[in-house]
C-alpha cells in the first residue's frame, strides 16, 4: 500500500482494501439463519433472520463493522461468522451495515449511514415486519464500528423523531477519542501488529480531512486544544478492551465516564488479547481466544438484551 501510494498508483487505503475484497463471502443461508443482502434507507445491509420459531418477539442487534472508517465490509468472512453467531445463538434479528468509507466519503458520511439505518429499523412497522421486540434492541460494533455504535446511542437520546429506546450497546475495542493520541496504550502498543499507532493516526486523519497537515499534527499529538464534553444518560453497555491495543485506554476511560453518569457498565479487559482479536473465528486464522471473547459478549447479550 505504501509503495503503491509513493509511486502514485493507488491511494494507501485502496491498497489495504484489497485484503477486504479477498475476505468477502456471499450471503449464504444455513439451517439456523436466513442471510440476505438488501438495503435499509438506501444503505446496503446484510440481514440475518433466525429460522427457528421465536416463541414471541425476538431480540435485534444493529452491527457496525470496524476498519478505521476506511476499510471493512459486512460480507467479510470474520464479520459474517460473528454476526451469524449473534443471530443464531441469541435467536436475534441482526442488521450488519455497509456504511460508506473514507477517503471517498469522509465524516460524517459513515455516521449518517449507520444512523439512517438505525432510525429506519426502529420504526414500529419495520420492527413488526421482522418480529423484533421494541423493548430488546441494541447496537454493537468493533473498533471504528464501536465508535459509530456509541455515537448512535448518544444521538438517539436527542432525536425527537425516535420513540423506541435502545436497551444495550456493545463496544468492542472501540475508537472513542482523538483528543490524545499519546495515551499509555498508544505508547505501549505503538508498533504492535493489526493496528499500529501510525495506522490509527492515518485512519483518523483520512476520516476527517484530506489535508496532510492534519495527519502530521495528529502524529505529534498537537492537533486539538484541551477540552471536555458532556455525557448523557445511555443504555447499558458492554465494553471490551484488549491489553495489546492502542485503543485500550479509549474503552477504559469511556467505561469510567459511563459509570460516573449512572449507566450500567460491564467492562471486560482481556490481558492476552490484541486489536481485532474477536474476528479470528475460522481456519486458517482461527483462535481459541476469538471464540472466548465472542462467547463472553454473547453471554452478556443473553442476560442484558
Q: Taking residues 83-89, what's their average pLDDT?
A: 98
Res. 215 pLDDT band, cuts 50 70 90: low
Question: Is residue 97's pLDDT more than 60?
Answer: yes
Of the residues 87, 88, 96, 143, only one is catalytic, namely 143
Res. 227 pLDDT band, cuts 50 70 90: very low
Single pTM value for the model: 0.92
The mean predicted confidence, pLDDT, of the chain is 91
Res. 126 pLDDT band, cuts 50 70 90: very high
Nearest-angstrom CA–CA distance, 175 and 156 = 19
What's the angle, vertex CA 26, arms to CA 121 and CA 287, rounded to 5? Answer: 95
Q: Taking residues 102-123, what's their average pLDDT?
A: 96
Q: How does DSSP assign 180-211, residue by residue?
A: -TTSHHHHHTTT-SSS-HHHHHHHHHHHH-S-
217, with CB counted inside 10 A (0-12, 13-18, 19+), is middle
The full set of domains in the chain, from first to last, is 2-223+234-304 (3.40.50.1820)
Nearest-angstrom CA–CA distance, 68 and 200 = 7
From the centroid of its chain, how far is CA 67? 9
* 172-183 residue pLDDT tens: 999 999 889 999
- The percent of residues in the chain predicted with pLDDT above 70, rounded, is 89
Q: Respond yes or no: is residue 143 known to be catalytic.
A: yes
* 9-38 residue pLDDT tens: 557 788 888 888 889 999 999 999 999 999
pLDDT value, residue 15: 81
Q: Taking residues 279-296, what's their average pLDDT?
A: 96
For residue 83, give every residue at least 6 positions away whose Cβ sits within 8 Å of its Cβ, in sequence order, or none.
46, 48, 61, 63, 74, 94, 96
Question: Is residue 225's pLDDT more than 90?
Answer: no
Question: Is residue 73's pLDDT more than 60?
Answer: yes
Amino acid at each position: 500500500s505504501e509503495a503503491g501510494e509513493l509511486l502514485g498508483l493507488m491511494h494507501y487505503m485502496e491498497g489495504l482494501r484489497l485484503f477486504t475484497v479477498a475476505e468477502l463471502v456471499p450471503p449464504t443461508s444455513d439451517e439456523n439463519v436466513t442471510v440476505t443482502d438488501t438495503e435499509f434507507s438506501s444503505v446496503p445491509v446484510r440481514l440475518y433472520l433466525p429460522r427457528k420459531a421465536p416463541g414471541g418477539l425476538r431480540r435485534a442487534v444493529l452491527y457496525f463493522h470496524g476498519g478505521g472508517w476506511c476499510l471493512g465490509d459486512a460480507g467479510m468472512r470474520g464479520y459474517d461468522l460473528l454476526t451469524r453467531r449473534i443471530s443464531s445463538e441469541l435467536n436475534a434479528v441482526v442488521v450488519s451495515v455497509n456504511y460508506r468509507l473514507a477517503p471517498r466519503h469522509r465524516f460524517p458520511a459513515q455516521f449518517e449511514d449507520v444512523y439512517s439505518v438505525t432510525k429506519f429499523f426502529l420504526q414500529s412497522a419495520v420492527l413488526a415486519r421482522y418480529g423484533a421486540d421494541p423493548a430488546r434492541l441494541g447496537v454493537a460494533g468493533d473498533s471504528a464500528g464501536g465508535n459509530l455504535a456509541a455515537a448512535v446511542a448518544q444521538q438517539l437520546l436527542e432525536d425527537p423523531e425516535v420513540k423506541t429506546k435502545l436497551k444495550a450497546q456493545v463496544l468492542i475495542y472501540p475508537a472513542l477519542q482523538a483528543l490524545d493520541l499519546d495515551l499509555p496504550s498508544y505508547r505501549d502498543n505503538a508498533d504492535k501488529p493489526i493496528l499500529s499507532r501510525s495506522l490509527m493516526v492515518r485512519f483518523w486523519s483520512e476520516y476527517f480531512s484530506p489535508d496532510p497537515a492534519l495527519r502530521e499534527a495528529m502524529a505529534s499529538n498537537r492537533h486539538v486544544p484541551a477540552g471536555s464534553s458532556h455525557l448523557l444518560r445511555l443504555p447499558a453497555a458492554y465494553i471490551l478492551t484488549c491489553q495489546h491495543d492502542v485503543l485500550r485506554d479509549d474503552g477504559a476511560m469511556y467505561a469510567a465516564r459511563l459509570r460516573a453518569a449512572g449507566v450500567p457498565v460491564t467492562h471486560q479487559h482481556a490481558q492476552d488479547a490484541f486489536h481485532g482479536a474477536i474476528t479470528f473465528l475460522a481456519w486458517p486464522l482461527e483462535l481459541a481466544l476469538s471464540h472466548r471473547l465472542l462467547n463472553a459478549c454473547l453471554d452478556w447479550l443473553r442476560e442484558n438484551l
